[in-house]
């Protein structure tokens, strides 16, 4: 049976030291993780992780609403950023709801 953790942040510094161990345990236990990006840097790191660990990590690109406000991003900029990936697992729903308002 395959298990999926639908909301991870393996790109954060807390995981940098033992990321290899985390990925190895996921492979051993049959766990797939959806890594959720939260900004420009995080999204690119999420794509790198998904590329390097494609057997375990699936990308979900997004922007935390505070990131959008702080950088004064418009919908076009956000969509251009996430379009850098041909195959995208998901675009964070909270961002889409925020941009609609």
Give the whole-angstrom CA distance, residue 10 versus residue 91: 17
Give the tokens for residue 94.
């909270």
User: Which of residues 11 and 89 earns the better pLDDT score?
Assistant: 11
Distance CA 46, CA 55 (A): 14
- Cα–Cα distance measured from residue 35 to residue 75, given in angstroms and rounded to the nearest whole number: 22
Domain 3-100 has CATH 3.50.50.60: no
2-30 average pLDDT score: 93
Largest pairwise CA distance in the chain: 43
What is the reported pLDDT for 73? 63
Query: Could you tell me what percent of the chain has a pLDDT over 90?
Result: 39
Question: The whole model's pTM is what?
Answer: 0.74
Domain boundaries, the chain: 3-100
Count CB neighbours of 45 within 10 A. 18
53-84, pLDDT tens digit by residue?
999 999 888 777 776 666 666 666 666 666 65
Write down the pLDDT at residue 14: 92
Residue 52 confidence (pLDDT): 96
């Amino acid at each position: 049976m395959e298990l999926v953790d639908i909301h991870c942040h393996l790109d954060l510094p807390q995981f940098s030291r033992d990321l290899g161990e985390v990925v190895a345990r996921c492979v051993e236990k049959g766990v797939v993780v959806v890594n959720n990006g939260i900004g420009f840097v995080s999204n690119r790191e999420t794509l790198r992780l998904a590329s390097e660990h494609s057997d375990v990590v699936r990308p979900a690109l997004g922007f935390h609403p505070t990131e959008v406000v702080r950088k004064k991003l418009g919908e076009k900029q956000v969509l251009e950023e996430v379009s850098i990936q041909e195959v995208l697992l998901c675009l964070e729903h909270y961002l889409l709801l925020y941009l609609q308002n």
